Chain A
Amino acid sequence: EPEVTQTPSHQVTQMGQEVILRCVPISNHLYFYWYRQILGQKVEFLVSFYNNEISEKSEIFDDQFSVERPDGSNFTLKIRSTKLEDSAMYFCASRATDTQYFGPGTRLTVL
């Protein structure tokens, strides 16, 4: 069964550094998402992406964040200058119709 994959599974970085989180959505899906879950809190929507552009973003998704689909398979989330409060689990999701399928997540730790 096709799955969403994410790399790395765990990323440790220093505050102020740039990180890129990678996702490979399910191959025939056209809608892509990033969510995050700060430890002990609920899963929150960050951004949605369709047809090579952002279709919606949350208040969390400020100018430090960007998304890209650099080729036909990868979908990336870049955080330009990480802050301590960016430490969280980041989930990628994709969908073809109404059901979103989530990847296993990348745990980002900012020191």
Chain B
Amino acid sequence: AQSVTQPDIHITVSEGASLELRCNYSYGATPYLFWYVQSPGQGLQLLLKYFSGDTLVQGIKGFEAEFKRSQSSFNLRKPSVHWSDAAEYFCAVLKHSSASKIIFGSGTRLSIRP
């Protein structure tokens, strides 16, 4: 069955430091992968997506993610975090079917140390 694993429940980084959030997926075919961000009390905002092509994808707010098929990973990175990046980050995979529902990971909460 399709699944998404985010091994880190909570990460704290200093403002200005680099960030990498881990995501591993289990999917039989070529996955469609997403990262969403949820700020406190807010909805889910799409950061970036990977469907095919270049394995390094750029998103909004200076985020990028790299698809590595050999590792079944789709890690999210940012070279220098800002206090406003504090939020919950969800990795997700699209399950292809008539419905094409999204399967979410459990999320990683990012805190920023001043």
Q: Contact mask B13-40 → A, CB, 8 Å, 1/0?
A: 0000000000000000000101010000
CA distance A102 to B104 in the complex (A): 13
Q: Which of B34, B44, B99 contacts A48 (CB 8 A)?
A: B99
Q: Are B36 and A48 in contact (CB under 8 A)?
A: no
Task: Let me know if B11 is at the binding interface, CB within 8 A.
Answer: no
Q: Specify which chain A residues have a CB less than 8 angstroms from the CB of B103 in the assembled complex.
A: 45
Number of interface residues of B (CB under 8 A): 23
Decide: A98 and B94 in contact? CB cutoff 8 A: yes
Q: Does A75 contact B (CB under 8 A)?
A: no
A39 to B36, CA, bound (A): 17
Interchain CB contact (< 8 A) of B46 among A44, A48, A101: A101
Closest 5 pairs between A and B when the two form their complex, measured CB to CB: A56-B99, A104-B43, A48-B99, A102-B44, A43-B104
Interface of A toward B, CB cutoff 8 Å: 6, 31, 33, 35, 41-45, 48, 50, 55-56, 91, 93, 95, 98-105
19 more contacts with CB within 8 A, not counting A41-B106, A48-B99, A103-B43, are A6-B43, A31-B99, A35-B102, A42-B107, A43-B90, A44-B104, A48-B100, A48-B101, A55-B98, A55-B99, A56-B101, A91-B43, A91-B44, A93-B102, A99-B46, A102-B44, A102-B46, A104-B43, A105-B44
